[in-house]
Amino acid sequence: MTLPPHRKQEIRARYLEVDTANVADVLDELGYPDYGLSSAFWPIREGSKLAGWAYTVRGQMTPYPGSGDPAKMEAVSGLEEGEVSVWSGGGAEGVCFFGELIALGMRERGCAGALIDGGIRDIRWINEMQFPVFTRYRTPVQSIGRWQVNAWQVPVYLPGATAERVVVRPGDFILADFDGAIVIPAELAETVLERAEALTQKERLIREDLRQGASLPEVLAKYGHV
């Protein structure tokens, strides 16, 4: 799906106003039940929200000589505004995929945050720059000499909530908040957004009716199940 930059930014801004729970409900209704990600993903800063178009980076545990990973630098140099860097490859291995400096470089390119099936370090400094990150674990151990990027902008696997694996393709939409993280297939991004916005508005009306003294059976009869 190719959208002009201004349209992509508009969609991203609107997704920031809806919750992953409502998006998950909409995907269920549309027949896409297995796009929620593992509950092991957590935000390094409480209350942060992550929304953007997936830019995938894939790597693997492998020993190698030298003092850096040129492929990693080349991979992140392609990030564009409003994209989320999605890191796949060995989430239980115990090394960090990036830290403060690479996060700073991504933010300066307009990157909207990172979703990491792996580890992160320099959490204090990344939080100070208010860069949204959802990750599997924290570790001080660097990846240099241990874990290496082998591809980017290719479909990748991430661990799922109701399925062992969820495929994330470049250009799919990523949304993560206090409840967890979910993937919205690119071709469904606008449809899901519109329905999630409608559901969000319905919930606002229900809350208001309840505050005004209506009973739960009354509001369910009025608005239906949510």
Q: Which residues are annotated as a binding site for substrate?
A: 99-102, 121
Say if residues 112 and 50 touch (Cβ distance below 8 Å). yes
Q: Mapped to the 3 state alphabet, what secondary structure does the chain carry?
A: CCCCHHHHHHHHHHHCCCCHHHHHHHHHHHCCCCCEECCCCEECCCCCCEEEEEEEEEEEECCCCCCCCHHHHHHHCCCCCCEEEEEECCCCCCCEEECHHHHHHHHHCCCCEEEEEEEECCHHHHHHCCCCEEEEEECCCCCCCCEEEEEECCCEEEEECCCCEEEECCCCEEEEECCEEEEECHHHHHHHHHHHHHHHHHHHHHHHHHHCCCCHHHHHHHHCCC
> What type of residue sits at position 153?
Q
In whole angstroms, how far apart are CA 109 and each of 54, 73, 186, 196?
A: 15, 13, 22, 29
Query: What residues form the annotated binding site?
Result: 99-102, 121-122
Q: Reduced to 3 states, what is the DSSP secondary structure of residue 210?
A: helix
Q: Could you tell me which residues are annotated as the binding site for Mg(2+)? A: 122
